[in-house]
Amino acid sequence: MGGVPESHTGWTFLTNHARVLAAIADDPNVRIRDIAAHCRLTERAVQKIIGDLEQDGYLSHTREGRTNTYRIEPGKVLRHPAEAGLPVASLLSLLVEDEDRRKHVDGPLGDGGPAADEAPAQPTSASRAPRLR
């Protein structure tokens, strides 16, 4: 078994719960070990997060042999009052789409940024202040 993943200092935009849920959305049969490596968490932390998500009804799983198959409840709304009414599916569609883009489009330095032949998007008044609702 590997050691503890490299930690990250400072703040981030996404919670570990969102990262774990996005990893499961990307592959419903993903192993806890792989989620932990992808999210840079310990396997124990991932188990606790999955437990939290299951307890609050965002996630369920079925056991098939030695494999867990997870099912996300896409209509379940996000918990924070600022996102009242926003279903988890809306958040996940952004995160999984971005993950897919990062896997398939490498920038000139292999950093997942825009490809060398793509011009960066110019911000418009509508894109300067994205709205989640």
Mean pLDDT of each 10-residue bin along the chain, 133 residues long: 61 92 95 96 98 97 95 94 91 77 55 44 39 37
pLDDT at residue 121, as a whole number: 45
> What is the reported pTM?
0.69
Return all residues near 71 (Cβ < 8 A) that are at least 6 apart. Answer: 28, 59, 60, 61, 62
Cβ atoms within 10 A of the Cβ of 86, count?
14
pLDDT at site 98: 60
Distances (CA, A) of 63 to 31, 35, 45, 60, 81: 12, 17, 20, 10, 34
